Structure 1
Amino acid sequence: MRISGYRTLTTIQEWGRPVGDANGLYADGVVPVPIVMVETDIGITGVGIGPHAEIESIFPALEGEDPRAVTALYDRMLRRAFKAGHAGVVFGTIGALDTALWDIKAKAAGEPLWRLLGGNDRKLPAYASGLDIGVDDDGLVALYEKYAAHGLRAAKLKGGLDVERDRRRLTLVRDVLTSAGGGARPSLMLDANEAWSRKQAVRYVAELERTLDLTWIEEPVRRWDAEGLAAVGRGVRAAVATGENLTGLEQFRPLLAAGAVDIVQTAAVWGVSHFLRVALLAHAHDLPVSPIGTTLVPLLHAATAVPNHMASELQDLHPPVGLSVDTSVEDGAFILGDEPGAGISIDEEAITAIIGRPGTRSADSPAVRPARAGLRLLAEAHGPHLNSSLMDLHHNR
């Protein structure tokens, strides 16, 4: 079997509401989802979710090769991009191709990827994550009631701009999950998406912790700030989670050496091989690992094969347009199926039908970091989507 070519597609995730974080919103709730499909000379096609950037320069590392040599081919792609693209969006292209190769290998073996990788238990703990900063209080309650109906008893909210608004929203979600769980205490997390300086982070989280118990605070300061992340960890009770935007083991090493991270995260877009290597590095430091992303399925398969998986992020309860996944959510967990490969099927006609109306990355989307992030003395108004006037970050301290 040999790799014979590739194709790229872009579909959309339709949330039906604004989604975003402290950096901005996709106001129409329509988010582009890029797809890579790797073809072989025996008709098996692998699916990877991730960018297409510079794919024409990366793909020659794979062309004509046996796709089952995934690990060797992953390193070959990294070597091909080591000067100009061993990070960021090109790393995402490598991850998408890598995931497609794992899909091919499992399909060729006639096994689900979780079994090929050595997993045993197809059930993985999940937590709810609605990218919900643009949702009002009533909408927030309704949203997390839907998650609770699937057995979710842990939730991560987006925040970081208004401490009292975050306190109120976390309390609302806590009450929803507590009621659904028969009084059992849920786990609550807050994701600031790098919105704060070090001292802002400590003051903000400490204020929330006067009345709430947070399991973790995610990306409180810049992703690479090992000293700052460690300072936040020392200053608050909550664990510090980070890693979704780090690419390559070399970016994780300084954080681990500084004791700067308690929950090691990795994003689905960076691929299966990256996740497996990060999970092993985290395990060597006795740290748990937690995958995140919208279409998380390939990393769920990989998570069954590592000893330190804690929980995986559940964002939308529905897959992107034109994708179906052999995965269900029951009793607060992802349940992986038996379909060979990673269990992602593509309906190209459905995707073609939506071409011309993909989401756009506007200037205030979460893809663009605000100029004053980490520098605000007073919180900046981000428009009516926050449903409240933003207040001084430190007004209660």
Structure 2
Amino acid sequence: MKTYSPDRITWIRLRSVELPLAQAVSDAKVTNGRQAALASVSLLFAEIETAQGYAGLGFSYSLRTGGPAQYAHAQELAPLLIGEDPNDIARLWNKLVWASASVGRGGVAAQAIAAIDTALWDLKARRAALPLSKLLGAHHSSVRCYNTSGGYLQASIEEIIDKAVQSRERGVSGVKMKVGQPERRLDLQRVEAIRKYLGDEVPLMVDVNQQWDRVTALRMGRVLEQYQLEWIEEPLDAHDVAGHAALAAQLDTPIGTGEMLTSATEALGYVDTGAVDVIMHDAPRMGGITPFLKVAHAAEQRGMIMAPHFVMEIHLHLAAAYEHQTWVEHFEWLEPAFNERLEIRDGHMLVPDRPGLGLSLHERVAGWTLAKIEIGKRG
């Protein structure tokens, strides 16, 4: 019988990348004057290699601000992994969390750790010659998907319809659109027009991006019931657990949130209390795959719907390993960074059969790289 031979991390490369979007987009945070339009995505890539020749790729991201801070903190953390066994992912995650204790267990610290943690999971799956979903214990070979990138507020109703048609022609099942404008009437006009065009059978979701108070959320939620939405996303402040719970109890339409939470503890506050119907946490934002799985396992015990936010390239594998109803959010934004494309068919995103995440960086990433550093020695 072959016995396990301990490996060790010998080399890590970090990259800070600014990936431009084809068109700047706006949600309700922009129309309400709280943020500027989004024109690019900041990415932190971590590449890890070991003495036995195994490699892993992971990434985290930030929108508008925070990219340089993630990269700076990752530079502090990466040297702590040189010489460590890459298979001890839980222990290494704890080591990095404790190294970051002075700046907290969420935010920039968690997001810097996330890139490294994801690279370790990718490496472990590649070492086993398995897709990450299979390593985790897959329940599904494909996951229902919906498009969000075409539903932002700077787009007209006609543009949203056009993008929805393109998405469905590509095989995407559902459509999500942004709401939360100061004039509620405009939101309702847009939802009604899109529902009328798509018909009742197409899954339709709305995303408020935390822009309603409790009274507005209840009133708008009651009006929106007629449109048979899959869910209303982030109707309230991301940390208003009690408000979301009260809203979920009073509406037939499912309520979802989670993308702005930056730790498993915050997300479990929703899951353990049943405060939402749909948990929408985000692995890069909350510290990587390791804490994401803790929340997913708890949600699984409650039979909750899971719809991870953004980064389909990572979340497809995690959703495929979830027992109950789950969705993947389709964004084409990050596709230019990778050589591979995810296949979509009959409303579902297919889990790739390549080892690990099944991703490799495209050479064009070099042109978007703001800074990079290598730690340790290759080979």
> For each residue in 1:228-276, what CA deviation from the matched residue of structure 2 results, as whole angstroms up to 9, or x when unmatched?
1122223332111011122333213333354321111111414222221
Residues 12 and 321, structure 1, Cα contact 8 Å, conserved in 2 = no
Alignment of 1:1-12 (within 5 A): 1-12=7-18
Give the one of 28, 44, 47 matched to 1:37.
Answer: 47
What are the within-5 Å matches in structure 2 for residues 144-159 of structure 1?
A: 144-159=164-179
In structure 2, give the amino acid aligned to 1:20.
Answer: S
C-alpha displacement at 1:175, in angstroms? 4.0
Aligned to 2:308: 291
Q: Which amino acid aligns with 1:304?
A: A
Residue identity in the other structure for 1:227? A
Of 354, 359, 362 in structure 2, the residue corresponding to residue 339 of structure 1 is: 354
Q: Secondary structure at the match of 1:17?
A: strand
Alignment gaps of 5+ in structure 1: 179-183, 357-397
- The equivalent residue for 1:301 is 317
Residue matched to 2:248 = 233
Contact 1:11-1:321 at 8 Å conserved across structures = no
Aligned residue type for 1:170: V
Question: Counterparts of 2:23 and 2:343 in 1: how far apart (Å)?
Answer: 23
Change (3 A) 1:175 1:62: farther
| Residue from 110, 119, 143 that aligns with 2:163 | 143
Q: Whose helix fraction is larger, Structure 1's or Structure 2's? A: 2
Deviates more, 1:99-108 or 1:154-163: 154-163
Q: Secondary structure at the match of 1:324?
A: coil
Residue of 336, 339, 353 corresponding to 2:367: 353
Letter in 1 for 2:141: R
Alignment of 1:39-188 (within 5 A): 39-50=49-60, 51-119=70-138, 121-130=140-149, 132-161=152-181, 162-178=183-199, 185-188=201-204
Q: 1:4 to 1:177 in 2, by over 3 A?
A: farther
Amino acid at match of 2:314: P
Cα distance, 1:154–1:320 mapped onto 2, change above 3 Å: closer
Once the 2 structures are TM-superposed, how far is the Cα of residue 12 of structure 1 from its aligned partner?
4.4
> Of residues 289, 294, 314 in structure 2, which corresponds to 1:277?
294
- Mapped to 1, the partners of 2:191 and 2:313 lie a distance apart of 27
Give TM-score, length-normalised by structure 2.
Answer: 0.84
* Contact 1:219/1:241 (<8 A) preserved: yes
Matched, 1:218 2:218: no
**5+ long unaligned stretches in structure 2:** 1-6, 61-69, 371-379
**Distance apart, 1:176 and its partner CA:** 4.4
The one-letter amino acid paired with 1:217 is I
Q: CA RMSD in A?
A: 2.3
- Secondary structure at 1:346's aligned position in 2? coil
Q: Distance in 2 between matches of 1:219 and 1:245?
A: 9
Q: Secondary structure at the match of 1:237?
A: coil
Shift of 1:278: 0.7
CA distance in 1, matches of 2:17, 2:36: 15
Aligned partners of 1:12 and 1:320 also within 8 Å: no
Query: Does the Cα contact within 8 Å between 1:272 and 1:299 map onto a contact in 2?
Result: no
Runs of 4+ in 1 over 4 A off after TM superposition: 25-28
1:335-384 Cα offsets, whole Å, 9 max, x none, are 1222111111112x41222457xxxxxxxxxxxxxxxxxxxxxxxxxxxx
Identity level (%)? 29
Q: More deviation in 81-90 or 212-221?
A: 81-90
Equivalent AA in structure 1 for residue 98 of structure 2: R
